[in-house]
Chain A
Amino acid sequence: MDVELLLGILPQVAIDGLILGFMYALIALGYTMVYGVLQFINFAHSEVFIVGAFVGVEILLTLKAAGVLDGVPWVLVLLLVLVAGMAASGFLAFAVERVAYRPLRHAPRLIPLISAIGVSFFLQDAIRLVESIWRNAFNLVYPTIDALNVRFDLTSTIDVSVKSLVVIAAALLMLWALHVLVNRTKIGTAIRAVAEDQAAASLMGINVNRIISLTFVIGGAMGGAAGVLFGVQYGLINPYTGFIPGLKAFTAAVLGGIGNIPGAMVGGLVLGLLEAFAASYLSLLTGGAFGAEYKDIFAFSILILILIFRPKGLLGEVVRERA
């Protein structure tokens, strides 16, 4: 075995893993916040995420068609796309909660979950329908922004692109903002109160329905931002792309301890790194017998193992079973 080669690609793999991990962390926040408040897996979150990516690509393509994409500073463009993606996804998450989950809040436990699966499937084809009519294509490619593709060398063998750094910076910024929102503001206190005990929170004068909606909006906006960053980083999207990252992000949320916001970040990073290592090293270590194709199996195995042996997750939030 070529140890030098194994070590040589290590930093590159670590950077890839970090980027993937921040992406998972941003998506996982949506799952974990909703689970913390309602003890319910918002299955449609993967589509909320990919809608953000689609809004982003539509704006970029429109700018490009208008010929202004290269004229405007890329920071402004990126900011515009991020905000639009967040707004669209946040609104979508809000709407989904109103239509498909709120009427079912007191139903037996499997019913809202099945409804969420239905929403997820419906949205996948709804995106496809809209894009088919609008653009006559539903596999879309993010237009490249030259300034974002500049690569610079960290060492003689490892380089990193500007967009990777931007993705990491944007993710960090948003995670920090969310942390402040949840822990330092009145709204954050209300969210935590509702998560703790809905009845008691409503007795304290908190409008529970509004806080639940807000939770969906915040989680959705984070997902939308992740969608835009996903598109910028990986380029190709279609209406069904969101599903697997969504599932992985859920895994990340469980890994970190579902319902726990710092846990989602830690879980996302751990999963992203593990997956990047698995994807690069599995084939090298097994002599090509098992390749990167098995990285999904790897992630699901982690999920199953965590759920069996440490259902509280890494950060140890107590998982409450919905009766």
Chain B
Amino acid sequence: MIRQPLVAIPASLALLIVSGLAVASAPRSILAFLLFQAAILFIYLAAMPWWLRGAFLGVALLVMMPIIGAYNVYYLEIATQVGIFAALALGLNIVVGLAGLLDLGYVAFFAVGAYTWAIFGSPQANQIFGGGFPLAPGWFYVFIFVGLAVAALTGVLLGLPVLRLHGDYLAIVTLGFGEVIRVLANNLDKPINLTNGPKGITPIGRPPVPFGIPYAEFSYFLVLLIVLIVIVVNRRLEDSHIGRAWEAIREDELAAQAMGVPLVRAKLLAFACGASFAGIMGVVFAAKQVFINPESFTFLESIGVLAMVILGGMGSIPGAVLGATVVTVLNLQVLKGFSLWLNELKNAGVVILGYPLASLPTQLEPAKYERMIFGIILVLMMIFRPQGILPARRRQREIEVTAEEQKSVTT
């Protein structure tokens, strides 16, 4: 039905309306919001003219989502988080998906961006320069570009020494690099207080909001805008000269080099591009959260972003966005929802099969099991569908060909 425009268009419209009404009538229901998200995915996949798809998506994201947010701000928060992680996933997608360089410390660049604005957008910088801080809120917009530049520079700095490493070794070194950045953030409160250590930095300045829009809605639109820009940049990169070079490196480094791909430049560019997206989002994240500390930038976050890329399909742009949505929603909605539901059942004294739920151990909090979710996603995807849910065409072919080659070798 999704392939037939005559069915798909009315179905999309119906889904959008029904899910919109569902969220409006039951603003607390997780299922209603999930339905709304499913409607957006359906519209994306359904066969229809591009302008109609654009119109549907525009209505859903620009009109309906803010209205839903007015009913229940929490959903707007989720949508904003999805946007932030979508941008991160798209950035990592360049490094892992296109260039085939497994980066396990990606969140370090996010941290670099976040700390860039956090230090100068809060009184923290007074500790270093003596006074005159925080900067005026308007500087936020400048710092989006500063964050981009600093993160890209960090990406190049990481890239330079590890250029000679491949595959597994590169993964471990980037992991170590991510940990190094976190440990530095944790400990650079002396000799000079740069990051305020584990206590973190607060209050971080928020950008001035035009036209008196509520702040939650504003950050939603800001994130949406950045994600759109990132998607466009990704699209343009993918089929550009450098994008082809990245994919050539991913498929076969030696052959790529023989064909005249400048390995060093291409790899450094991949690191820099991926890092710059994370840097931008870091600045936005710092401003949105008002408070950041090293706990937001652990290895767990890096793996979370990796799980998003893998789930959607390495090298696939819609895949990265879908992966970010699914993983974030699982974390923020499904796990938390399950926790709350379990607690309600416990408090109500429900008995299942003769076992009173109230005697469940108190340490059992389903909301804390995000690692398990990431782990299951990674293993199952690798075993059953390594190309991801929405695979990039070229990547899918590569995996199929490798499998066939192996078959012909072993038989």
Question: Residues of A at under 8 Å CB distance from B?
Answer: 39-41, 99-100, 103-104, 106-115, 117-126, 128-129, 132-133, 135-138, 243, 247, 250, 254, 289-291, 293-294, 296-297, 300-301, 303-304, 307-308, 311, 321-322
Contacts and interface: CB of A to CB of B under 8 A. Distances in A.
A72 B176 CA distance: 44
11 contacts: A40-B168, A99-B379, A115-B382, A118-B382, A122-B379, A128-B368, A290-B187, A293-B187, A303-B176, A304-B161, A308-B165
B372 A104 contact: no
A289 B194 CA distance: 13
A250 B179 CA distance: 15
B100 A110 contact: yes
B265 interface: no
Interface residues of B, number: 54
A119 B180 CA distance: 24
A321 B382 contact: no
B379 A303 contact: no
A293 B198 CA distance: 12
Contacts of A138: 363
Interface string B308-328: 001000000000000000000
A114 B375 contact: no
B382 A111 contact: yes
Given A114-B310, A132-B361, A322-B167, A103 B375 contact: no
Contacts of B386: 107-108, 111
Contacts of A303: 172-173, 176
Contact of B378 (A107, A115, A124, A290): A115
A108 B375 CA distance: 19
Scoring B104, B175, B177, B372 by chain A CB atoms within 10 A of each residue's CB, the highest score goes to B372
Interface of B: 100, 102, 104, 161-162, 164-169, 171-173, 175-177, 179-180, 183-184, 186-187, 190-191, 299, 303, 306-307, 310, 361-364, 368-369, 371-372, 374-380, 382-383, 386, 398-399, 402-403, 406, 410
A110 B167 contact: yes
Contact of A118 (B169, B364, B375): B375
A296 B185 CA distance: 13
Given A103-B383, A129-B372, A136-B363, A113 B167 contact: yes
B383 A115 contact: yes
Contact of A294 (B161, B187, B364, B410): B187
A290 to B, nearest CB: 8
A121 B173 contact: no
B164 A121 contact: no
Contacts of B100: 110
B379 A119 contact: yes
A41 B375 contact: no
A121 to B, nearest CB: 4
A113 B171 contact: yes
Given A118-B379, A135-B361, 10 more contacts: A109-B167, A114-B306, A118-B375, A118-B377, A121-B378, A122-B371, A129-B364, A289-B190, A300-B176, A322-B167
B249 to A, nearest CB: 13
A119 B172 CA distance: 16
B240 to A, nearest CB: 24
A18 B85 CA distance: 43
Candidate in B176, B187, B374 with the most chain A CB atoms within 10 angstroms: B176
Nearest to B300: A121
A125 B164 contact: no
A76 to B, nearest CB: 32
B102 A125 contact: no
Contacts of B176: 247, 300, 303-304
Contact of A107 (B166, B361, B380, B402): B402
A252 B247 CA distance: 33
A139 to B, nearest CB: 10
Contacts of B307: 118
Contact of B161 (A109, A123, A308): A308
A110 B102 contact: yes
Q: Closest 5 A-B residue pairs measured CB to CB?
A: A118-B378, A122-B375, A121-B375, A300-B176, A125-B372
Contact of A125 (B183, B363, B371, B406): B371
